[in-house]
């Protein structure tokens, strides 16, 4: 007879009988009584009154009976904590039992009893079990540490259990290693510090990879997840790890396969995309992913959601596997829709005919939602694969001819998008669309049809009649249709004003006087005032060229996609949301993950645009890349912000680019406008004699783009440098172009010619919300390590936030280094100047500047260029040439480098006058540092 008999009894007075049987001298009767107790507990009866009697049954050699008693204890210990203490001695005794199964059972049960009073007695038995000779006991004890940490984290740390757990990573038994990894992962996720408990290194990774081949599926998943958090030292190590993990792709368990895919996807980021190893690895990834689609529908769906991420990140992996994503007749709707989405992502010129044939077939299915998605998919293919657009339009027209209402309406919606993507190419089909006007009853389809009529009103003879037919039921239409109708009639009026004046008056009245919708009313008033005051402006606004729609409007944002790739084989990859979006609790900071960077040099070199684009951002020296990548970016946050406009840099000559506006007070001119209106560039002092009114402060160069949003994963940084109150300032505008908030900003500067380092941490408002900009000023001090750069004022910067670390290089304008205490005695200056080699003298000519010598001196002095020698000598109505000498850091910082500017201007008597001025600046803070 089976144990089901224990669940069928309904006798009264059962508790008393059970109590009697539990205290029986016969072992068989006692065991039967405990089974009855467990059965009653299972069906929901309260048998807590039997607690002391059940505890008395613990002291037995029968393993089955002991398991039953332990099960009872785990269920009732929390409600009877005082009585649970009675079992402690037995637990401690069982932890030293000769039978390893009993030892493991005892320590497991003690870990599951969440009673503080028992926890303190658990420490010593647990410590012994962690060093037990039997691997089964050790692996059970490893999991018990994680349970104990959840009850009392400080106790686990104080007792040194974490160190013992780390030692188990070197255990000879793979299951012990797997459980230790699982326990450490659990503890790490619950930790609020966010600091990894185990520092992953090559030695640890090798141990985990060795254990990977021999542990259970559950253990393999935990080990692979831990390996995914490791960043290899170089590409060679990454390849080695990939080779050892690749066999896991052939595993029968889907969780192991997806975990292996996650690790490989992360490691591939460290390798060149066109490397042979990456190409071969991509080929190996395809078959296991395809095999997952042969599983049951629920596993298929999870696999498809993960494949969706993989295809967005690396479409080449499955580019030849289109057929496996074709929908089967018996697939559940959630699988069908996911396959449809992946088909569109994989669609290209080579397979579009096959895809369109499938989609057209899907449009005849009986499932209305699926048919709608299929029709929209045809439109997405037309937008994505331009050469096939005509074929897609033809397919849509065929579907319209079926006269199936919902098919026709979806086709019109997607054709509107095709018109936006390819204007003036497929307007010949408008007449066909108009034939189906009366069948449209859905707001989106009606709005799309109205948009088409308004946009191409000049090509539709009866456009006014068509729009007027919509106007008859204006008040009954949805807001979406009303807004489209208002705009379409205004467009029609601007294109054919003679015969549509009454129609536009009617719609404006309906929108402004008879509607209570604020959006519709406001748009009506705007159109009314535009038309009544400035029809030309109305035409420019309403009939302006529309931006083309993008190919893929549903792609995940790059930074979010990178994070989700790191969470493949988890719920985040199924929801397509980061864990922080749906998990509440402790330790969420540790769940934030990012893909590794391919290489330091790649990041920095990519941050240097072409010479013609932004010469202010330059390539960096290979010898400095290591320094930049090993910087500690963990400092506290500090502020930043600024828009941009590039300097002009010319090689190694400091005075040939970047200070063109040194003495000008004029507002910054956009680079394009400046290029069109300015005279040919004369280098650093091109604007030094600008025509602006008097200047009261030193020149600040226009702001320039330092980090575009495309390279900053949504973070855009523009900035410039200034000198205020004797201190160099780095002014930045940080704009979040991403779709998620940004936090944890920090900045670090690489070694540079002047030893510049941040005087304070970077402070940025936290969080920096999407589309929010923040202005920040970072003070710089010349107290850091020095390394000569080429050009001398090149500065390499690293900015960190919660998404990634971003690198870029900028050329600082020279004038920010000029100190205020630069005055030099005339004799000292002349003596120093004589020692300057002739090769150090560079001459520039500045034309079309009308300033006196005194005005020039004044402008120079405002920028800390101090006049030391001024000589005026008239001879034949001419004065001697004017010269400005600037003390700049060269190979020998104690020597002067000279710049001469020759200038002529007309005197009051019409004769040509010349003047000679000698100026210098002080770079004393760096005199002994370069």
pLDDT at 427 over 90: no
Instruction: Say which residue, 254 or 846, is predicted with more confidence.
Output: 254
pLDDT at 709 over 80: yes
Q: How far apart are CA 140 and CA 221, in angstroms?
A: 18
- Which of 787, 816, 845 is where one domain is finished? 816
Return the pLDDT at 486. Answer: 93
Within-domain flag for 779 = yes
Lowest average pLDDT, out of 113-117, 184-188, 553-557, 822-826, goes to 822-826
Return the pLDDT at 109. Answer: 84
Round the average pLDDT of the chain to a whole number and report it. Answer: 77
Return the pLDDT at 872. Answer: 52
pLDDT band at 585 (very low <50, low <70, confident <90, very high): low
Q: How far apart are CA 594 and CA 133, in angstroms?
A: 40
**Average of pLDDT values for 612-632?**
37
Q: How far apart are CA 137 and CA 150, in angstroms?
A: 20
- Tokens 């490893």 sit on residue: 142
pLDDT at 361 over 60: yes
Within-domain flag for 12 = no
pLDDT at 665 over 50: no
**Average of pLDDT values for 81-109?**
81
Return the pLDDT at 329. Answer: 87
Return the pLDDT at 8. Answer: 60
CATH of the domain at 886: 3.30.310.10
pLDDT at 374 over 90: yes
Helix (H/G/I), strand (E/B), else coil: 749? strand
Question: What is the biggest distance separating any 2 CA atoms in the chain, rounded to whole angstroms?
Answer: 136
Do residue 856 and residue 886 come from a single domain? yes
Nearby residues of 399 by Cβ (< 8 Å), 6 or more positions away: 360, 363, 375, 378, 407, 408, 411
pLDDT at 620 over 50: no
pLDDT at 655 over 60: no
Do residue 753 and residue 810 come from a single domain? yes
Q: How far apart are CA 228 and CA 211, in angstroms?
A: 15
pLDDT at 801 over 60: yes
DSSP track, 463-527 = HHHHHHHHHTTGGGS-HHHHHHHHHHHHHHHHHS-TT-HHHHHHHHHHHHTS---HHHHHHHHHH
Do residue 831 and residue 797 come from a single domain? no
Do residue 812 and residue 831 come from a single domain? no
Length of the chain: 930
pLDDT band at 114 (very low <50, low <70, confident <90, very high): confident
pLDDT at 605 over 50: no
Instruction: Say which residue, 914 or 271, is predicted with more confidence.
Output: 271
- Which of 789, 816, 843 is where one domain is finished? 816
Q: How far apart are CA 712 and CA 715, in angstroms?
A: 5
Q: Model confidence over 116-163: pLDDT tens digits?
A: 777 777 888 888 899 989 999 999 999 999 888 888 888 888 888 888
Do residue 778 and residue 868 come from a single domain? no
Tally of CB atoms within 10 A around 135: 17
How many domains does the chain fold into?
Answer: 3
pLDDT at 561 over 70: yes
CATH of the domain at 768: 2.60.40.1150
Do residue 847 and residue 761 come from a single domain? no
Within-domain flag for 478 = yes
Q: How far apart are CA 150 and CA 629, in angstroms?
A: 37
Q: How far apart are CA 914 and CA 879, in angstroms?
A: 4
Do residue 780 and residue 840 come from a single domain? no
pLDDT at 298 over 90: yes
| Residue in 131, 130, 137 with CA at minimum distance from that of residue 98 | 137
- Which of 816, 841, 869 is where one domain is finished? 816
Instruction: Say which residue, 551 or 459, is predicted with more confidence.
Output: 459
**Average of pLDDT values for 311-330?**
90
Return the pLDDT at 514. Answer: 83
Return the pLDDT at 448. Answer: 92
Q: How far apart are CA 45 and CA 58, in angstroms?
A: 22
Q: Model confidence over 681-694: pLDDT tens digits?
A: 333 333 333 333 33
pLDDT band at 357 (very low <50, low <70, confident <90, very high): very high
Do residue 735 and residue 793 come from a single domain? yes
Within-domain flag for 761 = yes
Within-domain flag for 113 = no
pLDDT at 714 over 90: no
Do residue 488 and residue 514 come from a single domain? yes
Q: Which domain holds residue 749?
A: 704-816
Helix 368-384 to helix 333-346 angle, to the nearest 10 degrees? 10
Instruction: Say which residue, 43 or 516, is predicted with more confidence.
Output: 516
Q: Model confidence over 836-891: pLDDT tens digits?
A: 777 666 666 666 666 776 777 777 777 777 666 665 544 443 333 334 444 443 33
Within-domain flag for 260 = no
**High-pLDDT (> 90) share of the chain, %:** 24
Instruction: Output the six-digit token pair for 216.
Output: 């259970």
Return the pLDDT at 857. Answer: 73
Lowest average pLDDT, out of 279-288, 708-717, 732-741, 849-858, goes to 849-858
Nearby residues of 222 by Cβ (< 8 Å), 6 or more positions away: 178, 181, 182, 185
Do 282 and 317 form a contact (C-beta atoms < 8 A)?
yes
Q: How far apart are CA 508 and CA 879, in angstroms?
A: 74
DSSP track, 802-826 = SS-EEEEEEEPPGGGG-BS-----H
Q: Model confidence over 487-499: pLDDT tens digits?
A: 999 999 998 888 8
Return the pLDDT at 638. Answer: 38
Do residue 841 and residue 788 come from a single domain? no
Sign of CA dihedral 479, 484, 487, 488: negative
pLDDT at 19 over 50: yes
Do residue 808 and residue 843 come from a single domain? no
Instruction: Say which residue, 71 or 503, is predicted with more confidence.
Output: 503
Do 22 and 31 form a contact (C-beta atoms < 8 A)?
no
Instruction: Say which residue, 121 or 781, is predicted with more confidence.
Output: 781
pLDDT band at 613 (very low <50, low <70, confident <90, very high): very low
pLDDT at 828 over 90: no
Return the pLDDT at 697. Answer: 59
| Residue in 232, 227, 339, 211 with CA at minimum distance from that of residue 566 | 227
Within-domain flag for 717 = yes
pLDDT at 176 over 80: yes
Do residue 812 and residue 720 come from a single domain? yes
Instruction: Say which residue, 594 or 910, is predicted with more confidence.
Output: 594
Q: How far apart are CA 394 and CA 411, in angstroms?
A: 11
Instruction: Say which residue, 647 or 854, is predicted with more confidence.
Output: 854
For 621-675, give the secondary structure using H, E and C. Answer: CHHHHHHHHCCCCCCCCCCCCCCCCCCCCCCCCHHHCCCCCCCCCCCCCCHHHHH
pLDDT band at 609 (very low <50, low <70, confident <90, very high): very low
Within-domain flag for 346 = no
- Helix and strand tally (H, E) in the chain? 37, 14
């Amino acid at each position: 007879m089976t144990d089901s008999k224990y669940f069928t009894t309904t006798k009264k007075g059962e508790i008393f009988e059970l109590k009697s049987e539990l205290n029986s001298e016969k072992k068989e009767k006692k065991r039967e009584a405990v089974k009855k107790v467990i059965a009653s507990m299972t069906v929901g009866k309260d048998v807590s009154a039997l607690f002391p009697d059940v505890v008395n049954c613990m002291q037995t050699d029968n393993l089955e009976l002991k398991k039953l008693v332990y099960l009872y204890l785990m269920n009732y210990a929390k409600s009877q904590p005082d009585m649970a203490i009675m079992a402690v001695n037995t637990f401690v005794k069982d932890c030293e039992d000769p039978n390893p199964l009993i030892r493991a059972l005892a320590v497991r049960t003690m870990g599951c009893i969440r009673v503080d009073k028992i926890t303190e007695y658990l420490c010593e038995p647990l410590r012994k079990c962690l060093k037990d000779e039997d691997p089964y006991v050790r692996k059970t004890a490893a999991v018990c540490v994680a349970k104990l940490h959840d009850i009392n984290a400080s106790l686990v740390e104080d007792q040194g259990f974490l160190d013992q757990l780390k030692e188990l990573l070197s255990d000879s038994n793979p299951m012990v290693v797997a459980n230790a990894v699982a326990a450490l992962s659990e503890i790490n996720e619950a930790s609020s510090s966010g600091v990894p408990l185990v520092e992953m290194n090559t030695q640890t990774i090798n141990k985990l990879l060795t254990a990977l081949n021999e542990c259970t599926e559950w253990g393999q998943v935990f080990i692979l997840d831990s390996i995914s958090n490791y960043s290899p030292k170089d590409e060679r190590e990454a390849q080695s790890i990939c080779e050892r993990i690749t066999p896991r792709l052939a595993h029968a368990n889907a969780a192991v396969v997806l975990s292996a895919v996650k690790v490989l996807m992360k490691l591939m980021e460290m390798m060149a995309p066109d490397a042979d190893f990456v190409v071969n690895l991509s080929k190996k990834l395809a078959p296991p992913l395809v095999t997952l689609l042969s599983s049951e529908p629920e596993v298929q769906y999870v696999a498809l959601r993960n494949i969706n991420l993989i295809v967005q990140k690396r479409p080449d992996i499955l580019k030849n596997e289109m057929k496996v994503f074709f929908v089967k007749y018996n697939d559940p709707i959630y699988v069908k829709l996911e396959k449809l989405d992946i088909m569109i992502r994989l669609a290209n010129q080579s397979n579009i005919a096959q895809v369109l044939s499938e989609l057209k077939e899907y449009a005849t299915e009986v499932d209305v939602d699926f048919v709608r998605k299929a029709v929209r998919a045809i439109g997405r293919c037309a937008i994505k694969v331009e050469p096939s657009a005509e074929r897609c339009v033809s397919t849509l027209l065929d579907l319209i001819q079926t006269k199936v209402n919902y098919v026709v309406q979806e086709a019109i919606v997607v054709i509107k998008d095709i018109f936006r993507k390819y204007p003036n190419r497929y307007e010949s089909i408008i007449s066909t669309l108009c034939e189906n006007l009366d069948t449209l009853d859905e707001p989106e389809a009606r709005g799309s049809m109205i948009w088409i009529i308004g946009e191409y009103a000049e090509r539709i003879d009866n456009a006014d009649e068509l729009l007027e037919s919509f106007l008859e039921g204006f008040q009954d239409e949805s807001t979406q249709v009303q807004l489209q109708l208002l705009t379409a009639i205004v467009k029609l009026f601007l294109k054919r004003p003679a015969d549509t004046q009454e129609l536009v008056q009617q719609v404006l009245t309906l929108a402004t006087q008879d509607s209570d919708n604020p959006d519709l009313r406001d748009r009506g008033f705007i159109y009314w005032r535009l038309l009544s005051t400035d029809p030309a402006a109305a035409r420019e606004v309403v009939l302006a060229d529309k931006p083309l729609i993008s190919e893929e409007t549903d792609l995940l944002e790059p930074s979010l996609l990178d994070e989700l790739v790191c969470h493949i084989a988890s719920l985040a990859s199924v929801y397509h949301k980061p864990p922080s979006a749906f998990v509440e609790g402790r330790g969420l900071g540790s769940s934030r993950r990012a893909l590794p960077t391919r290489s330091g040099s790649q990041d920095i070199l990519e941050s240097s645009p072409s010479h013609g684009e932004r010469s202010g951002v330059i390539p960096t020296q290979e010898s400095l890349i290591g320094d930049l990548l090993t910087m500690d970016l963990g400092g506290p946050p500090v502020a930043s912000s600024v828009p941009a406009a590039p300097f002009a840099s010319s090689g190694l000559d400091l005075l040939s680019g970047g200070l063109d506006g040194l003495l000008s007070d004029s507002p910054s001119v956009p680079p394009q406008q400046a290029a069109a209106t300015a005279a040919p560039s004369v280098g650093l002092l091109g604007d030094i004699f600008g025509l602006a009114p008097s200047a009261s402060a030193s020149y600040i160069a226009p702001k320039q783009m330092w980090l575009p949003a495309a390279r900053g994963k949504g973070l855009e940084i523009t900035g410039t440098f200034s000198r205020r109150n004797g201190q160099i300032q780095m002014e930045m505008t940080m704009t979040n172009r991403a779709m998620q908030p940004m936090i944890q900003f920090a900045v670090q500067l690489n070694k540079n010619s002047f030893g510049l380092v941040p005087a304070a941490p970077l402070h940025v408002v936290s969080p920096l919300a999407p589309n929010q900009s923040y202005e920040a000023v970072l003070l710089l001090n010349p107290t850091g390590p020095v390394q000569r750069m080429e050009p001398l004022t090149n500065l390499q910067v690293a900015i960190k936030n919660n998404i990634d670390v971003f690198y870029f290089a900028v050329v600082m304008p020279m004038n920010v280094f000029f100190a205020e205490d630069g005055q030099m005695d005339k004799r000292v200056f002349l003596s120093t100047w004589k020692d300057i080699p002739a090769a150090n003298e560079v001459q520039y000519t500045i034309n079309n500047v009308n300033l006196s010598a005194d005005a020039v001196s004044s402008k120079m002095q405002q920028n800390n260029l101090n006049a030391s020698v001024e000589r005026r000598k008239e001879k034949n109505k001419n004065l001697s040439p004017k010269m400005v000498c600037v003390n700049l850091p060269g190979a020998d910082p104690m020597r002067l480098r000279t710049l001469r500017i020759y200038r002529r201007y007309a005197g009051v008597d019409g004769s040509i006058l010349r003047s000679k001025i000698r100026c210098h600046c002080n770079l004393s803070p760096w005199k002994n540092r370069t």
